Chain A
Amino acid sequence: MGIYEILFWLLTIMAISSALGVILSRNPISSVLFLIVTFFSISGHYILLNAQFLAVVNVIVYAGAIMVLFLFVIMLMNLNADVEPQKGRLLQLAGVIAGGILFLVVLAALKSATVLPLEKASSDIGLIKNLGRTLFTQFVLPFEVSSVLFLSAMIGAIVIGKKEDTNTIPLKGK
């Protein structure tokens, strides 16, 4: 067993067990922390696939920024295990059905997918140079469209967050 396989299995076990921790732990804070560990092990997988850029961006954006905001909200709301509302039977049933359907979809998708053998550092497609080239040539339209999407989301956030300026209302008539 080479170092790549050892690392792969380690990261896989870490990812799956921490992902289970996310849904099984009662404390929302520990759920978030488990989620961060999950992101890390996924980043580890990216590095094994020689996609360093993706790995680091995953850490910066998800673990570094979005999870901090999650933690923020949870810490400020002070959620505890005993505050958590008990869900009704119907809701639980709905959850089981929805989850089951999702599981089926994933299963179906996996069944048709061909499993590629694990190759260590076989391609340079994840390196930033190749990634940038692909994004700005082959996928330039989707890339730009998604940037417009982000821009509109940003503007929307600013518009919602902007205070109603009461002083300017009488001036509007003039």
Chain B
Amino acid sequence: MLLLGIDIAFLIEKVILISVILMGSLGIAMYSTWAERKVAAVMQDRIGPARAGWFGLLQPLADGIKLFMKEEIIPDRSTRFLFIMGPCLAMLTACMTSAVVPWGPDYVTASGHVISLQVADINIGILFVFGVVSLGVYGVMLGGWASNNKFSLLSSIRAASQAISYELAMGISLIALLMMTGSLSLREIVAQQHGFWDGHWFTWYFFKQPLGFLIFLVCAFAELNRAPFDLPECDSELNMGYHQEYSSMKLGFYLFSEYINMFISSAIIATLFWGGYNFPFMDKVAAGVHPLLFTLICVMALMTKIVCLILFFMFVRWTLPRFRYDQLMNLGWKGLIPLALINMLITAIAILWIFKS
């Protein structure tokens, strides 16, 4: 069966995969809000949400219902279309990145049909991620500008300059990694990190690029607008920042997209540096169990890494105080970019040296 030259079975397979991934990332983002409160609570010697359901597990649902029920206010002097566009764009860009992450190894059915657990294996996967991330700033900028509020505008401009500044360091830190991988495809990069130990050294790129990982992680914090880089929404001086004028589910979209972004960027970090769905002794496991079970174990391995990274993001948020704006810019331009360049240089020299010998 063909629809406009595309196999319908293929279409259905991809649609199912996309819906599962979207539902999964929405669900994980939902429970990230719960986890964030719990993490914050246990670090401050509290117990956190405990009323809605067992251990407060229904809290995200309650929050969602609350946000839907709230009155929706669109400021009189705002630019209406862009005001509505802002949160939509934020959500859209948050969800789009998940398309190129390989969530698990290919599953080959008994009839020889290959089901890929990646929506699109484009050969420039990382660049796609960068493209979408660089668009993410529009949601914030348009929303902040369309609100017709000085504080919103100021903070959206802060957000944009922060995002642009840290994108540079992020890109340069990745170039060092890409010099080692020789490929931009995330699928290929994960395949290179197969297993855990290749006889000489760890296969995961964290052990080959520790400095690059560190820079990437710091930049990820900044790109996500999360503490200690949450200047766009610093509640004390910009009272909530770019989403000050937002209410109801439009506010919810902004808040929610941050959590989706956190999930996706954890997935990207896990894929690039922590071996993606690979885990130690995976060959022995693969030989011993049913292929479907093995695929599931791989997906679970990736999810475990992602959850650990999300918890780390939260852990840092509730520990470190916010940077001042000049400190942020100093760190980005004078600290991370030179460091990333040095890292790139070291990697290039090492590759040349190893290549020659």
Contacts and interface: CB of A to CB of B under 8 A. Distances in A.
Interface of A: 2-4, 6, 29, 33, 36, 52-53, 56-57, 59-60, 63-65, 68-69, 71-72, 75-76, 127-128
Contacts of A63: 131, 134-135
Find the residue from B131, B137, B138, B142 having the highest chain A CB count within 10 A.
B131
Given A52-B122, A75-B145, A57 B127 contact: yes
Interface of B: 4-6, 79, 82, 122-124, 127-128, 130-131, 134-135, 137-138, 141-142, 145, 153, 156-157, 160-161, 164, 167, 184
A117 B123 CA distance: 26
A91 to B, nearest CB: 29
Nearest to B146: A29
A2 B4 contact: yes
A128 B138 contact: no
Contacts of B122: 52
25 contacts: A2-B4, A3-B6, A4-B5, A6-B4, A29-B82, A29-B145, A52-B123, A52-B124, A56-B127, A56-B130, A59-B135, A60-B130, A60-B134, A64-B130, A64-B134, A64-B137, A65-B134, A68-B134, A68-B141, A71-B141, A71-B145, A72-B157, A72-B160, A75-B145, A75-B153
B44 to A, nearest CB: 37
Contacts of A57: 127
A57 B130 CA distance: 9
Given A3-B5, A69-B164, A75-B141, 15 more contacts: A3-B4, A29-B145, A33-B82, A33-B142, A52-B123, A53-B127, A56-B131, A59-B134, A60-B130, A63-B131, A64-B131, A75-B156, A127-B123, A128-B123, A128-B184
Nearest to A64: B134
Contacts of A59: 131, 134-135
Contacts of A60: 127, 130-131, 134
A34 to B, nearest CB: 12
B127 A64 contact: no
Given A68-B160, A72-B160, A56 B124 contact: yes
Chain A to chain B: the 3 pairs with minimum beta-carbon distance, closest first:
A64-B134, A3-B4, A59-B131
A69 B163 CA distance: 12
Contacts of B138: 36, 68
Is chain B's binding surface mostly helix, strand, loop or mixed?
A: helix
Contacts of B164: 65, 68-69
A6 B82 CA distance: 29
A57 B171 CA distance: 12
Contact of A56 (B128, B137, B153, B167): B128
Contacts of B5: 2-4
A72 B128 CA distance: 24
A63 B134 CA distance: 8
Contacts of A3: 4-6
A64 B135 contact: yes
A71 B135 CA distance: 13
Contacts of A72: 157, 160-161
Contacts of B137: 64, 68
Nearest to A7: B4
A163 to B, nearest CB: 13
A75 B142 CA distance: 10
Nearest to A54: B124
Given A60-B130, A63-B134, A68-B164, A76 B157 contact: yes
Nearest to A127: B123
Contacts of A128: 123-124, 184
Contacts of A64: 130-131, 134-135, 137, 167
A151 to B, nearest CB: 13
Contact of B157 (A56, A65, A75, A127): A75
A172 B145 CA distance: 47
A127 B124 CA distance: 9
A52 B4 CA distance: 22
Contacts of A76: 157
Contacts of A56: 124, 127-128, 130-131
A74 to B, nearest CB: 9
Nearest to A58: B131
Contacts of A36: 138
A100 to B, nearest CB: 34
A59 B124 CA distance: 13
A60 to B, nearest CB: 5
Find the residue from A57, A59, A60 having the highest chain B CB count within 10 A.
A60
